[in-house]
Amino acid sequence: MAELLDRYGLAATFYIPRNSQLETLPEEKIRELSQRFEIGAHTMEHLALTTLPDVEAERQIHDSGAWVADVTGQSCAMFCPPLGKYQREHVNAIARHGFIGYRTVELLRVDPPKRRVRGDYVRGDKGWELSSMPTSVQAHPHPRSVYVRNAIKRASWTPLHYAWTIAGKTDWMGLAEVMLARAAQTGGVFHLWGHSWEIEENEQWKNLEKVFAMLSQAVESGWAVTASNGEVCSAESPASLF
């Protein structure tokens, strides 16, 4: 994945847990990767936060950020809840422990991250700004029903419109092209994401390279800019990245 991103001059954020049910990168490889790409926290053991007691969930959030910072020698700005599962108390904990943003699994969005003050005021939190970052397309051959459920679960009506009118008529590469054009028209953010193991399992590497080539061309033409999740979440607006 990193080699392909380098080939097309694209920025990226890798969310890496210390341990997982699948093979993870050794720390020396993560350190090397961090010289070229942003590394985000993804809990210590890749556990869904909603399955854990609150104290353990908060430990997973805090310790994973500290671990990424220790391995890379750089502060960790971004967190991604495993399996996209989280609740309000987890979002408060993400803000409490110094992250500037968290990446969700909401699909078919091109609007910029939403920045809000988060914190548990019953606990005496002072409140911290935290950005919630949705996504546009996953590099995965989903049926339309997945996009529809994803939108309905979040009461996201624009994504539901895209899911109903577009997702069933094209593959994920065609959907990426449509969403990129929409982001360009609205001054929004196009966010592609995926898992290397799923891309391998579904034989999507060639398709991913085609989409990377399309994104690279957009950047080279000057009507798009490539940025990490942290850069997008810390920007005053998408336009300020240019």
- Is 241's pLDDT higher than 70? no
pLDDT tier, 1 (very low <50, low <70, confident <90, very high otherwise): very high
Check residue 168 and give its pLDDT. Answer: 80
Residues 174-189: what's their mean pLDDT?
95
Check residue 52 and give its pLDDT. Answer: 98
How many whole angstroms separate alpha carbon 189 and alpha carbon 192? 10
DSSP state, residue 126: -
Taking only the tens place, the pLDDT of each residue in 84-104 is 999 999 999 999 999 999 999
Check residue 197 and give its pLDDT. Answer: 93
- Is 242's pLDDT higher than 60? no
Under a CB-based contact definition with an 8 Å cutoff, are residues 184 and 137 in contact?
A: no
Give the residue among 195, 230, 190, 238 at the shortest CA–CA distance from 39. 230
pLDDT tier, 53 (very low <50, low <70, confident <90, very high otherwise): very high
Rounded to the nearest 10 degrees, the angle between the axes of helix 205-221 and helix 172-186 is 20
Give the residue among 76, 58, 39 at the shortest CA–CA distance from 125. 58
DSSP state, residue 123: G
pLDDT tier, 239 (very low <50, low <70, confident <90, very high otherwise): low
pLDDT tier, 32 (very low <50, low <70, confident <90, very high otherwise): very high
User: What does pLDDT average to over the chain?
Assistant: 95
- Is 240's pLDDT higher than 70? no
Taking only the tens place, the pLDDT of each residue in 114-130 is 999 998 888 888 899 99
Residues 35-49: what's their mean pLDDT?
98
Check residue 23 and give its pLDDT. Answer: 84
pTM for this prediction: 0.94
Check residue 167 and give its pLDDT. Answer: 84
**Residue given tokens 């090397």 in the structure block:** 32
Under a CB-based contact definition with an 8 Å cutoff, are residues 80 and 103 in contact?
A: yes
Domains of the chain as residue ranges with CATH: 1-236 (3.20.20.370)
Q: Which amino acid is at 105?
A: V
- Is 235's pLDDT higher than 80? yes
Q: Distances from the Cα of 11 to the Cαs of 8, 89, 216, 225, 229, in angstroms?
A: 9, 31, 10, 9, 9
Which two structure tokens, joined as six digits, stand for 94? Answer: 């993400």
Check residue 219 and give its pLDDT. Answer: 96
Which strand ranges, in their side-by-side order, compose the sheet holding 38-41? 13-16, 38-41, 78-79, 101-103, 128-133, 114-118
DSSP state, residue 113: P
